[in-house]
Amino acid sequence: MPIQNKDDDYFIPVLAPYVQWVKVYGQLISALYEKHKTVRRAWKAFRDAIPGVERKLEFAIFEQILLFGLFLSEWNNSEKGDDSLEEGRQAKRGSAYGGEHPGGQLDTVIQKLQNAFEERDRALWNLKHLEQSSLILRDQKADLAGQAASLKKNVELLQIELDAANEHLKQVIHELDNHRAENARLRGESVVLKKKEASLEQQIERLRKKLDRLSTDQAQTRPIVAVKNPDTEQGFSQAVIQWVRQRAGQDARQEVIQNPKRRISPNKIGRWNAQLSKDGYYRLYRKIGGRVHSIYVGKELDIDKAERRIADRERKLLTPDPAKNATESAYSKRQLKMQAPPRSIEAPTT
């Protein structure tokens, strides 16, 4: 319901509480007005007649009550006319007010005024309630806006942290892939090293078996030299060979060649002297018939290889040459037979 302006609606909210004043003091107010002829004088006389009324009633309200009282007085006086006028007035009033008595019309007006006042109060209360609700909703809206801004900021921070976590995850995955590749490479190298280790163990075993058959002191025939680049495959193999030689030299340091009749120096193979030349190769030397003969063995002093080459050389030397004297050949043959050592070489007993 729309609320009217206070000036336009002044009579209804202000006059409604004072209807009883009209009923009680209407005639007195009209009489005072007829006596004093002015509203101010009538108001002063009314205050004198009823002390303390100014605390309950203002001059403007008194003026409205006076006008309303005069209206009612005129209305009542008009009812005291002649019968024809009364009937005409009764007909007019019947048509104007629906056939009701003016007193009933006053009660109806008073009731409407009271209803309008109550409706105005309800409208004001609803308006106040709506204003409070609007303020509450405005505050809630401001709070929700602040929460939305805070949530938006938190979402942005979480997005930044999520991006950083994804980047770190990518780095971790990349490092993990690198570690996996490195582990695969190391496993492959481990397999290769295990194979090499097995091969080296087999070589060591063969060298040990071979050195068990040696009749010379490897430590004296060939000195132990430092191995260069022991971390490489070739250097590691040389280090193993040097270690085996050293062990074999320690085991055969005493006497590696024994004979029931005499002892032979460990740097000799048969009657041939084994020497390591400056170029790093082993050769066998022996003086026969006033002439020094040499046999090439190699970088390794292989006893079996040296014995085979000694046998070949002695066979050539023992074969008679038709261009030479038969006596000289026979003499050489007898000399070789006298000086030839036994072929069997026993390993040293521990």
Taking the C-alpha atoms of residue 203 and residue 314, their distance in angstroms, rounded to an integer, is: 32
**Secondary structure letter of residue 312 according to DSSP:** H
The CB density around residue 322, as the number of other CB atoms within 10 Å, is: 6
pLDDT on residue 40: 86
Q: In what order do the strands lie in the sheet with 272-276?
A: 268-269, 272-276, 282-288, 291-298
- Local confidence band at 167 (pLDDT 50, 70, 90 cut-offs): very high
pLDDT on residue 152: 92
Taking the C-alpha atoms of residue 83 and residue 267, their distance in angstroms, rounded to an integer, is: 182
pLDDT at 341 over 50: no
pLDDT at 77 over 50: yes
As a whole number, mean pLDDT of residues 84-113 equals 58
pLDDT on residue 265: 45
pLDDT on residue 156: 93
Is the separation of the CB atoms in 221 and 301 below 8 Å?
A: yes
The amino acid that residue 289 corresponds to is G
Domain assignments of the chain as residue spans, ordered by start? 11-142, 218-339
pLDDT on residue 237: 66
Taking the C-alpha atoms of residue 212 and residue 108, their distance in angstroms, rounded to an integer, is: 146
What's the gap between Cα 19 and its chain centre?
A: 82
| 340 to 275, 311, 334: CA distances (angstroms) | 19, 10, 10
Instruction: Could you list the beta-strand ranges (E) of the chain.
Output: 268-269, 272-276, 282-288, 291-298
Least confident range of 3-17, 115-129, 147-161, 229-243: 3-17
- Local confidence band at 110 (pLDDT 50, 70, 90 cut-offs): confident
Secondary structure string (H, E, C) spanning 261-287: CCECCCCEECCEEEEECCCCCEEEEEE
pLDDT at 330 over 90: no
| 265 to 249, 284, 343: CA distances (angstroms) | 14, 14, 15
* DSSP codes of every residue in 55-103: GT--HHHHHHHHHHHHHHHHHHHHTTS-HHHHHHHHHHHHHHHTT--HH
